[in-house]
Each structure stands twice: as C-alpha cells, then as structure tokens.
Amino acid sequence: MTLPDMSSLDAITRQLPDGYYSTFRTYAACTRVIGLSAHLRRLPDVDASTLHRNLLLLLEPYRPGEARVRVMETKQGKFYIALEHLKPLPREVYEKGVRVETVALYRHDPRTKSTAFISISDAERKHITQTGLFEALLVKNGKILEGMTSNFFYSIRTEQSNGRQPGAKSKREEILCTAQRGILFGVTRSMVIRATRGRGVEVRYRALKLDQLPAVNEAFITSSSRGIVPVIQIDSVLVGQGRPGPMTRKLMTAYEGYVLKHAEKI
C-alpha cells in the first residue's frame, strides 16, 4: 500500500481532485489571520462559520506557535484543510533580499486560484529550489505579471520638474507599480497598496516590460505567508544598488503595523 505524501501543503494538494484553494498563516498563537474573509471568498461554496469552527479545532495542537494553512474546495464541492507548522523565513531574507528569475508561464484563469496551477508549475518550483532562487516571476507577452506564489511590485524613479527657472534641479518622485491585468489579486497585495497610499506614495497599475528591468530602482514580492520580501536581482539584472531600498524597508515596517492592527479573529 502506498502511503500518501504529507511532506508539504503542495504535496497534499497534488493528491486531491482539481478545485480552488487559498493559503495563509496565523498570528497571535493561531487565533488571528490577515484577510481571513478574503481568503475564504476564494472558495465558491464555503460555509464560513463551519470552516471557522473546524479550523479552530485543527489549530489547537499548533498553539502557542503559528501555523501555515491551506483551505481547499474540489470542483465536486468537498472541502479540505491542510496545516503545517509555520517556518518563518530567515531574518537575512528580509534584510538582504532575494534573487528571482523570469519564466514564460502564466495562469490561464488568473482570477481563480486553481489547484491545477500547482501541478502545471511543479517543474519550475523544483527548478528554483535546485538553483537556490527564491521565486519565479511569470511573464506573458514580454511583461512580468506576478510571482508564481506571490504578487510583484517595482518602482522606477522619475524626474519631475519643480517649475523653477531653467537649470534648477528637478525633484525625484518615487512611484510604486504593479500589474493589474492577468494576475491573481493577492490578499496581501491589496493591503500593501492601501498601506503605500496611506504613506502618500503613488501606486500605478502597470506591468513591467522585460526591457525595462535595468531601470528598476526597487522591487519586492508579497504573499500572505511571507509578507513583503525585497527582490535584489531579477535574472542577471541587479535591482537598484543590490540591496533592499528605502521605500521597500518603509513599507515592510508599515505592513508589520497593519498586520498587528487588522488581523481577524478566526
């Protein structure tokens, strides 16, 4: 008899029929989740109150630590919850940033978080693990849309005239950009956009063209389990100075504050 593969949430998901899913982490000793209602809305037929009760029971053995959770609904209407102990990323990931690569892969139905994409992207997931990369950025028609397991943000510093006499120095303006079409709208993505605008930074919806990579000043990816992760290299192109930039660091701090304030009770 072949035992089921329980080594990871992805391994469990691959053994289930196709369907829909959402993945998130807990806070406050497994009692709160950021954007829990938004995560559950990804499951078409979920009974939120029933799932809440089951989730609280399943999380009990993980306390007082934290857990990483995946809720799934098959296309036949069956629900599954898979959990694993949360393994926070090393601090140096946030302090030093990560390297990523681009890949000609994209979601055929980007508005739906389908379990089928996990199998489709399995070869790329193994590749980035073997090469020591952190993430793959999905490219369609020469534009970076999102990360394989994250959303993608970048900034390009622009020069803005200050309206003074000729020869006067222009003001540098920082603008944060992210794709709007052809992507999965991540829960953390929405929160980062709100936090960014709350700090007076302009957000524009614009996918990054591959030939614009050398002009990128800062970049980062976002996900519910990892928060904001600085990106310092895309393929062979160094981002900015090759270290997390000031905007990214400020937004990481702002997001941490947002988490503490807005995490929902399970």
Mean pLDDT across the chain, nearest whole number?
91
Higher pLDDT, 6 or 231: 231
Is the pLDDT score of 99 beyond 50? yes
- pLDDT tens track for 244-263: 999 999 999 988 888 878 89
CA dihedral 129, 133, 138, 142 (to 10 degrees): -140
* Average pLDDT, integer, range 110-139: 90
- pLDDT tens track for 21-57: 999 999 999 999 999 999 999 999 999 999 999 999 9
pLDDT at residue 150, as a whole number: 96
pLDDT at residue 169, as a whole number: 54
CATH topology of domain 93-264: D-amino Acid Aminotransferase; Chain A, domain 2 (3.20.10)
pLDDT at residue 161, as a whole number: 46
pLDDT at residue 249, as a whole number: 95
* Average pLDDT, integer, range 95-101: 98
pLDDT at residue 242, as a whole number: 95
Is the pLDDT score of 167 beyond 70? no
pLDDT at residue 174, as a whole number: 76
pTM: 0.90
Domain boundaries, the chain: 9-88, 93-264
- pLDDT tens track for 202-259: 999 999 999 999 999 999 999 999 999 999 999 999 999 999 999 999 999 988 888 8
Mean pLDDT: which of 54-68, 156-170, 196-210 is highest? 54-68
Sign of the torsion angle spanned by Cα atoms 114, 38, 176, 257: negative
